[in-house]
Amino acid sequence: MNKFIAILLSLTFVLVACSSGEADYKTISMDEAKEMIDEENIQVIDVRTKPEYDEGHIPGAVLIPLQELESRLNELDKGTPYIIVCRSGNRSQQASEILVENGFAKIYNTSGGMNQWNYEIEK
C-alpha cells in the first residue's frame, strides 16, 4: 500500500510539474477568428498603426499599436479572451507573446492578419 501511495504521489508530482509550464497563445485562422467573434464574448485587439487601423479594421476592434502595448497593459483584463490582429500576422505574434509573458491566458493570435480578413470592415 505504501508503494502504491508513493507511486501515486510521484505521478501526481510529475503531472503537476509538466502542466505548470508557461501559458501560451493559440494561433488561429481569420475564418476561425470570425467564428469566435460571432459566437463568443471575445475582444479583438488590433496592434497595427493608427493609419493602418483607419484604413479599415474589424468592427469593434480596439486599437493598441504594438509599440504601445506594454505601456497599456493596465487597460486590459487578464481574464478576458483576446483575438490579436495585425496586417500579416507578424506583429500579432509579437503582441501575443508580450501578453502571455504578462499573465494573460486566453490569447488568440491570427495568422495572415487583415490581409486574410474577408469579412466586414469598419472605417
Counting the structural domains of the chain, the total is 1
Mean pLDDT, residues 92-114: 97
Q: Is residue 121 part of a domain?
A: no
The tens digit of pLDDT for each residue in 61-93 reads 999 999 999 999 999 999 999 999 999 999 999
**Catalytic residue status for 86:** yes
Residue of 61, 66, 85, 86 with catalytic role: 86
The enclosing domain of 80 has a CATH number of 3.40.250.10
Model confidence at 22: pLDDT above 70: no
Greater confidence, 84 or 13?
Answer: 84
DSSP the chain: -HHHHHHHHHHHHHHHHHHTS----EEE-HHHHHHHHHHS--EEEE-S-HHHHHH-B-TTPEE--HHHHGGGGGGS-TTS-EEEE-SSSHHHHHHHHHHHHTT---EEEESSGGGG--S--B-
